[in-house]
Amino acid sequence: MKSSGDLTADELRAMLRYDSETGHFYWLRSGTGRKPISEPAGVVRPDGYIRITIDHIIYYAHRLAWLYMTGEWPPGQIDHRDGKSNAWKNLRASNQTQNLQNSSVRCRKAVPLKGVHRHGSGFRSRIRVNGRRLCLGTFRTPEAAHAAYAAAAKKYFGDFARIE
């Protein structure tokens, strides 16, 4: 059985077609006879990532897109600029810090603003940089705390900053 690094770009291109505008993969042929030809490939996970199984190995579609377009496996992590689409213009190489910074707020019960937490009668703004949590201050409103977070995110993470 192959390991994930054994799949080549040529093998991938022989099995799947990648639409770089939409980010979707389509089957060209099926080794098992169970995958319909020209049908979209993959299964969408609850978190939105698409997984595609090739020769009994599960791959993430964004990593396959990188292999398909560049001919090489990604050097590290792949960041989705908008957080979800596998369109080629939306994908970029990143490290873990950059990728996590560009994540959206998952599920905030008290305050639905990234980087903002309830703190006593006010709102605390914090950001994580190089594994260290930095306190940006405590504010009277969640909007003021979020503005501090947004400024710090832009300062520390530039284009990878996601503030919503």
Reported as a single tens digit per residue, the pLDDT across 54-93 is 888 999 999 999 999 999 999 888 988 877 789 999 998 8
**12, 70: one domain:** yes
d(CA 130, CA 142): 25
Count of structural domains, the chain: 2
CATH number at residue 125: 3.30.730.10
| Among 94, 115, 135, residue at a domain's last position | 94
Residues 95-102: what's their mean pLDDT? 73
**51, 87: one domain:** yes
**32, 59: one domain:** yes
**76, 143: one domain:** no
* Main-chain phi, psi angles of 85, to 5 degrees: -75, 140
**124, 45: one domain:** no
| Dihedral angle computed from the Cα positions of residues 26, 29, 35 and 37, in that order, rounded to the nearest 10 degrees | 60
Whether 3 has a pLDDT exceeding 80, the answer reads no
**30, 80: one domain:** yes
**44, 115: one domain:** no
**84, 109: one domain:** no
**56, 127: one domain:** no
**80, 109: one domain:** no
Here the tokens at position 133 are 């949590």
pLDDT at 23: 94
| Among 94, 115, 148, residue at a domain's last position | 94
Q: What is the pTM of this model?
A: 0.65
Determine, yes or no, domain membership for 74. Answer: yes
Range of the domain at 14: 4-94
- Which are the contacts of 52, defined by CB distance < 8 A and separation ≥ 6? 16, 25, 41, 42, 43, 58, 59, 60, 61, 64
d(CA 29, CA 90): 27
CATH number at residue 78: 3.90.75.20
Bridge partners (DSSP) of residue 78 are 93
**113, 85: one domain:** no
pLDDT tens, position by position, 87-98? 999 998 888 777
